[in-house]
Amino acid sequence: MRKSFEGLYGLVRDRLLGDPLSGHVFLFANGRRNRLKLLFFDGSGLWVCAKRLEKGCFRWPEVEAGRTKVNLTHEELALLLGGIDLSRVQRRRWYRRVPGEEPQAAHFLA
């Protein structure tokens, strides 16, 4: 976890094929999963935040074979940062409006 602004910016752009200036939050973990770094652009500059656990590790979500990234909702991010194992959490059917679609289009998460 030695990377800072430029290193994390490069990872987002080159490896994740994302836009570091999009306003999305990008989260990185070390191999032992006891340290996290977060990269975020707020419109005027980049934020890099870090957290180191004194004991234990973060339970990172499972990644499908061949994929390099996992998309999390803001609720899932909060659970992950709070020490909750996302593989043991059960989703309920829930309405969520998808940006860019008409308001009457309902999407339910299974």
- The CA distance from 24 to 106, in Å, is 24
User: Structural domain of residue 21, as residue ranges?
Assistant: 5-109
- Percent of the chain at pLDDT > 90 equals 49
- Tell me how far apart the terminal alpha carbons of the chain are, to the nearest angstrom: 35
pLDDT at 110 over 60: no
> Total structural domains in the chain?
1
In terms of residues, how long is the chain?
110
> Per-residue confidence at 86, pLDDT binned at 50, 70, 90?
confident
36-45, 56-65, 96-105: lowest mean pLDDT where? Answer: 96-105
Whole-structure pTM value: 0.77
Higher pLDDT, 43 or 64: 43
Please give the pLDDT value at position 1: 73
